[in-house]
Amino acid sequence: MRKIPFSPPDITEAEINEVAEALRSGWITTGPRTKLLERRIAAFIETGKNDVDTEADVARWSNRVVCLNSATAAEELNLRILGVGPGDEVIVPAYTYTATASAAIHCGATVKFVDIRKDGDAVTHMPEMDYEDLASAITEKTKAIVAVDLAGIIADYETIYKIAEEKKDLFHPAEADGTPLGDLNHRIQTAIGRVAVLSDAAHSLGASRTFRGEKKYCGAIADFTSFSFHAVKNFTTAEGGASTWLPIEGVDNAEIYKFFQLLSLHGQNKDALAKTKLGAWEYDIIGPWYKCNMTDIMAGIGLRQLDRYPGLLKRRAQIIAKFDAACDELGISHLRHYTGGSNSSGHLYLIRIPGITAEQRNAVIEKMAEQGVATNVHYKPLPMMTAYKAQGVKIEDYPNAYNYYANLVSLPLHTLLSDEDVAYVVEALRNTIKDMKLC
Ligand SMILES: Cc1ncc(COP(=O)(O)O)c(C=O)c1O
């Protein structure tokens, strides 16, 4: 019997050597490797290329991406840069991981959940928000909509922006409060002039989609985007994440970048590198803020992962093609990662077995485990979780999210799977379906 883990990290000697180099270099916290990774991710997001020589034009690629210690931190800092706080509402799909919602709660905002479309998007089957429900959820208090590019498939931002524009009259930008951050928040909200569109792109680095007639990569579509580089993600730095944003009229990117640095490093106006300059010990604390910076050890893993990333995305596409063929033959519904204008990052392979209950689904997961295949469920909707139930949210109000979850299984999808492993997973699924007389 084979043992197929769900999502082990794909780490080679290249990543190991880069980490060793970082350790030997004498600089292990945020420093040159982190800054280089930020520039390279900026170039990747704009061009889809991982080999742009960002050293040739450092200024061009600087101040556009901020590497942090997680996507959760990136989501929270995106909201704090935007100026979301107590009294504000943030709209989040009911079908996502907790971080999409908890980041807004950390900022003191109120989360409003929106159900997904029945069976997800008509083409990709990705569990996107119901856009009519989204439009009706926007009030005078709404400051942000956080869409989720679940499984690596980019959501329909054209529709989301259209809704935000249509509801523009309800939007009131935050007043300046006389503090440097409050002033930035005011200028950003005024320049955007509508509810901001945020992307939880924890799964979707490297995905692309036709947006307003042009091919755009994830990170170059929403007003603010957050990526995850957690150990189970396509692209990992063990733990880690990044924020990026679109240029905001009248606000300098360098200023936004500076505030991300301040928010992620205690509100301290000099980082460790700046303090090493001769005689430059003195610093100020301009806000009692957070600590969520990326270290150069993590960035070292990321630099070498980025070298390999296009190859990793290709391998995911090959595995997905094999799973697609098997599911189509078995009559199992699955995500469509590669459709006309949309190329996913192929992060998760979600299947839905027609007509089964949540109990039968759990039995499928057990039968797969008995055959050595680890599977999972992405996701149990947030209104079913204790923390959100305690806030008065009820799953009965999100029937599409519940139905999507009840018959869903996530198959193992990662780049350590050999072709034989993929065939084995398919065979285990076939046996399970047959034994349980499903489909
Ligand atoms: C949709 C989504 N958003 C956010 C996160 C949080 O990522 P991180 O662990 O990097 O904070 C995850 C992690 O799994 C996720 O799946």
Q: What is the pLDDT of residues 392-438, one digit of tens each?
A: 999 999 999 999 999 999 999 999 999 999 999 999 999 999 999 99
- pLDDT tens, position by position, 256-314: 999 999 999 999 988 777 777 878 889 999 999 999 999 999 999 999 999 999 999 99
- pLDDT confidence of residue 333: 97
pLDDT average, residue stretch 186-192: 98
- Print the SS3 string covering 24-77: HHCCCCCCHHHHHHHHHHHHHHHHCCCCCCCCCCHHHHCCCEEEECCHHHHHHH
Minimum-distance ligand 1 atom for the alpha carbon of 233? 14
Sign of CA dihedral 353, 151, 296, 184: negative
**pLDDT over 90 percentage in the chain:** 96
pLDDT average, residue stretch 340-356: 96
Interatomic CA distance for residues 121 and 356, integer angstroms: 20
- pLDDT confidence of residue 421: 98
Interatomic CA distance for residues 292 and 315, integer angstroms: 32
The lowest-confidence range among 99-113, 270-284, 377-391 is 270-284
pLDDT tier at 85, thresholds 50, 70, 90 = very high
- pLDDT confidence of residue 130: 98
- pLDDT confidence of residue 86: 98
Query: Is the separation of the CB atoms in 244 and 75 below 8 Å?
Result: no
pLDDT average, residue stretch 140-163: 98
Q: What is the distance in A from the centroid of ligand 1 to the CA of 282?
A: 36
pLDDT average, residue stretch 102-128: 98
Interatomic CA distance for residues 17 and 251, integer angstroms: 40
Q: What is the distance in A from the centroid of ligand 1 to the CA of 71?
A: 6
Q: Is residue 148 in contact with ligand 1, taking CB distance under 6 Å?
A: yes
pLDDT average, residue stretch 305-326: 98
**pLDDT over 70 percentage in the chain:** 100
pLDDT tier at 383, thresholds 50, 70, 90 = very high
- pLDDT confidence of residue 60: 97
Minimum-distance ligand 1 atom for the alpha carbon of 99? 4
Spell out the residues 6+ positions from residue 146 whose beta carbon is closer than 8 angstroms to its own: 75, 90, 91, 92, 93, 100, 104, 198, 199, 200
Q: Is the pLDDT of residue 192 over 90?
A: yes
Minimum-distance ligand 1 atom for the alpha carbon of 241? 10
pLDDT average, residue stretch 163-180: 97
